[in-house]
Amino acid sequence: DADVTQTPRNRITKTGKRIMLECSQTKGHDRMYWYRQDPGLGLRLIYYSFDVKDINKGEISDGYSVSRQAQAKFSLSLESAIPNQTALYFCATSDVRQANTGELFFGEGSRLTVL
């Protein structure tokens, strides 16, 4: 089983619908992140959380919200989806104790299409 699991893996929805993407991890890491990837733009950071009580905006947080329900769970919500939120979304974790590299561990991605 994957250490960082995202659900759903694929979702097609309509403009105006509320969507939640969920991420859970079994790595025991404190830090969790949400990125979106668009063709030719690399990955852009949406939100990140350093622990359950700490939520921070990234580069492109407008139109998104997050919830850190527990150390292992970090969900991303689109309150009213719009077509330009069509993208591949990645959840990632890192270990605050892994001071050597700060390595990010990514999930397999959630492909969202907004019609």
Partner 1 sequence: LAKTTQPISMDSYEGQEVNITCSHNNIATNDYITWYQQFPSQGPRFIIQGYKTKVTNEVASLFIPADRKSSTLSLPRVSLSDTAVYYCLVGDRAPGGKLIFGQGTELSVKP
Enumerate binding residues for partner 1 (CB under 8 A): 4, 31, 33, 35, 40-45, 48, 50, 56, 58-59, 88, 90, 92, 94, 96, 99-109
Instruction: Give the whole-angstrom CA distance, residue 43 versus residue 45.
Output: 7
> Is the CB of 40 or the CB of 53 nearer to partner 1?
40
Closest approach of partner 1 to the CB of residue 98, in Å: 9
First to last CA, the chain: 32
Closest approach of partner 1 to the CB of residue 48, in Å: 4
Closest approach of partner 1 to the CB of residue 87, in Å: 13
Closest approach of partner 1 to the CB of residue 80, in Å: 26
> Is the CB of 14 or the CB of 51 nearer to partner 1?
51
Give the bridge partners for 5, in sequence order: 24
Torsion angles phi and psi, residue 84, rounded to 5: -75, 5
Q: 61: which residues sit within 8 A by CB, 6+ positions away?
A: 46, 47
CA trace torsion 99, 56, 90, 75 (10° rounding): 120
> Is the CB of 43 or the CB of 81 nearer to partner 1?
43
> Is the CB of 58 or the CB of 63 nearer to partner 1?
58
